[in-house]
Amino acid sequence: MKAQIVIVAQHTSGQVDPVTYEVIACAQELGRKQNFASIVVVLGKKTRGLAQEIADTCGLEIIGIENEALEMYNAEAYRAALGEALMQLHPAYIVLPHTSMGYDLAAPLSIDLKAACITSVEAILTTDHAVSFQRSLFSGKIIAQIVPCKTPAVLTIQPGAWRAEKEKVTHTVEICITQMHLKPTSTKTICMKPSEHEGLDLNQADVIIAAGKGIGNEENLSLIFELAKIFPNSAVGSSRTVCDQGWLGYQHQIGSTGKTVAPKLYVAVGISGAIQHITGMKDSQVIVAINKDPNASIFSVAEYCIVEDLEAFIPALLDEYRQLKSGQK
Amino acid sequence: MKILVCVKQISDTDDIVRIDASRAWIEYHEKTSFRMNRYDEYALEEALRIREKYPETSIDAISLGPARAVSTIRKALEMGADNGIHLLAEQNSFISPSEIATLIATVAKPKGYSLILAGVMAEDDMFCQTGQLVAAMLGLPCATSVIYQERFENGKTLYVEREIEGGQRECLHIDLPAVLTIQSGINRPRYPSLSNVLRARKQEILRLNIKDLRQPEPCECLACLSYPQTQLKGEFIQGSLENKARTLLRVLHQKALL
Ligand SMILES: Cc1cc2nc3c(=O)[nH]c(=O)nc-3n(C[C@H](O)[C@H](O)[C@H](O)COP(=O)(O)OP(=O)(O)OC[C@H]3O[C@@H](n4cnc5c(N)ncnc54)[C@H](O)[C@@H]3O)c2cc1C
């Protein structure tokens, strides 16, 4: 098998993670632009089922690498196995998702392969002689174009930046499964366990009022709760920063390391719109954002954008609401 | 045990960020306020807590940046770090993670740290690479996005929990020396004590000009910066405060959300 682009699949408990298909879509775009072929590498204890699923969904050639030590993600084992496979494949690009697996693995792989490393890529730009990769800085307020100065280049792909393309696969796809010998790792993955953040079912709510660091202090949470009260079946959510400050428990956190929600209405109050937050709420039906910074990234996903200081705006909103209510009586 | 904590100075995230005339990097102005990257604050606090448990520990804080980065190293000393190391980069320009990591690894190598801590990412350039690169360059094991860590009795191994997606944690044993990149929420960073503030004021900070260190070879370069062309999905509601409030209530009502 020969391919210039190697995609590293991500999977958990026997299921291919959807983000893998986003990475594949990115690789396909890169392949079309540079006339490169792609191949998917799946690592695990058993990879046949995973490989077949990916093959049936995208029609790319697959390499399965198997070893007991690859049963759960382990940086050392993954790095050793991939390193060996990549030495033989000699790709120009290695693409991974920008997830806790991808960013854990990308930088060390780049050292092993003497490669460039560009993380959280959101778009590919090509000119006659160069390919550059677009990524965000400053929570999305600035866009940078980064050019690898070395081949190969290891890329991690920002989840949500590409849409998974599912094609009807009609041709038979080559799947090659190998057992790889690996040295025992010194770092041992013991188990997975859930973070203890249960107790609040944000997914049942029709309306979520989410507080960000912009609320400034814990006392201002009362504004958020008051606002939530005017909506039927509502709940209070938050950015991670609010939980880190101890203003709310982690059961309220929305985003890539918190909950994913899609209520009828999502009101983001004092939230900047970091990609890790947006990942968890972008599929909400209606998004309202209240932020004093007109350049805040949250506005790019909101349907109704309000540039105001929340300490003034929310009381005004509550006032207007009360007037409206009393007028109706 | 000797611990190194990597601390980066960043501009305050609420500030307006401007691209310089050559589109090569960010232009800061007199009013820009700078502070320690939040994730690095958690990393430093974790080091301080290790020292509280194992008093023989010493903590160095290292920062690569222009002259102003000294204030962030000073902040680390105020929080309780024992020594500060400043890798001076004279210009305010983009330096790639691989270059930064090479320079930190060069300085760290002869010091024989048992543990190197960094934030999981920098809030400004959001690369998520420096800690991992330093580890790989020094041949050390690394765990990223660490939300819990504890040393075993033997003093040689750490029990570590990494925060991964979907509300899960990955639990592992990792041998020292090692590198950990720290996720926010692992602890509650302290405010500096008065005695540490006074001590930090007088303390010397070791300064090394990066020009005098081994020159790293860049692996990636920054072609240019631009502002996002925000394709607004929606609209900015205009008018006075009251008008905006009224309009919002009206549209929410029309959509049967209120
Ligand atoms: C691996 C990893 C995983 C992460 N997972 C998550 C996650 O699951 N969920 C998550 O949310 N984050 C997550 N983060 C953190 C994320 O990158 C951001 O740091 C975080 O979302 C920022 O929270 P914020 O918007 O509340 O704060 P900030 O970014 O500080 O934004 C505050 C906003 O409030 C506005 N503001 C300030 N004062 C006012 C005022 N008076 N009125 C109106 N507006 C005001 C400011 O303009 C600013 O836009 C993760 C980060 C990492 C590295």
Task: ipTM value, please give it.
Answer: 0.95
What pLDDT score does B17 carry? 87
CA B64 to chain centre: 11
Is the Cβ pair A120, B228 closer than 8 Å? no
Residue type, A20: T
User: pLDDT for B177-228, tens place per residue?
Assistant: 999 999 999 999 999 999 999 999 999 999 999 999 988 989 999 999 999 9
The two beta strands, A207-211 and A234-238, are parallel
Q: Mapped to the 3 state alphabet, what secondary structure does A314-328 carry?
A: HHHHHHHHHHHHHHH
Confidence at A64, pLDDT banded by 50, 70, 90:
very high
Residue of A nearest to B24 (CA): A144
How confident is the prediction for chain A on average, in pLDDT? 94
Structural tokens at position A140 = 């999305």
Q: What per-residue confidence (pLDDT) applies to A197? A: 67
pLDDT band at A289; cut points 50, 70, 90: very high
Task: HSE, CB side, 13 Å, CA atoms: give it for residue B103.
Answer: 25
Specify the pTM: 0.95
- Position A327 scores a pLDDT of 80
Q: Is B230 on the interface with A (CB under 8 A)?
A: yes
Residue B231 is predicted with a pLDDT of 73
Tokens in use for B55?
């008093």
pLDDT for A326 equals 87
- To the nearest 10 degrees (0 to 180), the angle between helices A102-112 and B130-138 is 40
What are A60's two structure tokens? 């790319």
> Nearest residue on chain B to A274, judged by CA atoms?
B123
DSSP label of B189: P
Percent of chain A with pLDDT over 90: 89
Check pLDDT > 80 for residue B13.
Answer: no
Q: Tell me the per-residue pLDDT of A136-157, one tens digit each, with 9 for 90 and over.
A: 999 889 999 999 999 999 999 9
Measure the CA–CA gap between A277 and B224, rounded to whole angstroms: 26
Mention every residue, 6+ apart, whose C-beta is less than 8 A from residue B91. Answer: B66
Closest Cα to residue B122, out of B133, B111, B112, B114?
B133
Per the CB < 8 Å rule, is A137 touching B232?
A: no
Which residue's entry shows tokens 């929410």?
B252
Tell me A254's DSSP state: B
- CB–CB of B141 and A187 under 8 A? yes
What span, in angstroms and rounded, lies between the C-alpha atoms of B177 and B174? 9
B35 pairs with which residues across the strands?
B10
CB pairs under 8 A between A and B: 246
Q: Residue A52: left (phi > 0), alpha (psi -120 to 50), or beta?
A: alpha
Interval B27-82: pLDDT, tens: 998 889 999 999 999 999 999 999 999 999 999 999 999 999 999 999 999 999 99
- Residue A243's alpha-carbon distances to A223, A307, B41, B186, B219, in angstroms, are 17, 24, 16, 11, 37
Q: What is the DSSP string of B191-224?
A: PPPHHHHHHHHH---EEEEGGGSPPPPPSEEEEE
- CB < 8 Å from B in window 22-61 of A: none
Distance from CA of B234 to the nearest CA of A (A): 4
Could you tell me the two tokens for B96?
A: 């790639």
The pLDDT score that the predictor gives to residue A198 is: 65
> What is the Å distance from ligand 1's center to B197 Cα?
29
A179, pLDDT greater than 90:
yes
Report phi then psi at B9, rounded to 5.
-90, 130
Place A286 in a pLDDT band, splitting at 50, 70 and 90. Answer: very high
Residues A161 and A27: their CA atoms lie apart, in Å, by 12
**Residue B162: strand pairing partners:** B146, B170
Does residue A1 register a pLDDT over 70? Answer: no
- Locate tokens 């998974």: which residue? A164
Residue B15 has pLDDT above 80, yes or no: no
Q: Rounded CA gap, B258 and B254, in Å? A: 8
Q: What is the mean predicted confidence (pLDDT) over A125-129?
A: 86
Q: Which of A272, A278, A279, A305 to probe ligand 1 with, by most ligand atoms within 8 A of CB?
A: A272
pLDDT over threshold 80, residue B143 = yes
Cβ-contact B103, B210 below 8 angstroms: yes
Q: Report chain B's terminal Cα–Cα distance, integer Å.
A: 59
In angstroms, what CA-CA distances link A42 with A25, A84, A118, B77, B204?
16, 14, 21, 46, 51
The rounded distance, in Å, linking the Cα atoms of B140 and B122 is: 21
B142 touches chain A (CB under 8 A): yes
Tokens 């009381």 sit on residue: A315
**Predicted confidence (pLDDT) per residue in A81-99, tens digit:** 999 999 999 999 999 999 9
Mean pLDDT calculated for residue range A245-270: 96
Residue-level pLDDT at A40: 98
Q: Report how far apart, in Å, the C-alpha atoms of A217 and of each of A248, A268, A296 are.
A: 11, 16, 20
- The protein residue whose alpha carbon is closest to atom 52 in ligand 1 is A276
Nearest alpha-carbon partner for A173 in A66, A84, A11, A40: A40
Smallest CA–CA separation between B87 and chain A, in Å?
22
What does residue A145 show for φ and ψ, rounded to 5 degrees? -105, 120
Give percent helix, percent strand, percent coil of chain B, each to the nearest 5.
30, 30, 40
Q: Tens digits of per-residue pLDDT, B91-129?
A: 889 999 999 999 999 999 999 999 999 999 999 999 999
Q: How many other CB atoms sit within 10 Å of the CB of residue A299?
A: 24
Pairing of strands A153-157, B142-151: unpaired
**The B83-88 sheet, strands edge to edge:** A188-194, B168-175, B157-164, B142-151, B178-182, B115-119, B2-6, B58-65, B83-88, B206-209
Cα B219 to Cα A34, A180, B216, B243: the distances in Å are 20, 30, 9, 52
Q: For residue A7, which phi and psi values (nearest 5 degrees)? A: -105, 130
CA–CA dist B183, A244 (Å, integer): 10
pLDDT in the model for residue A196: 76
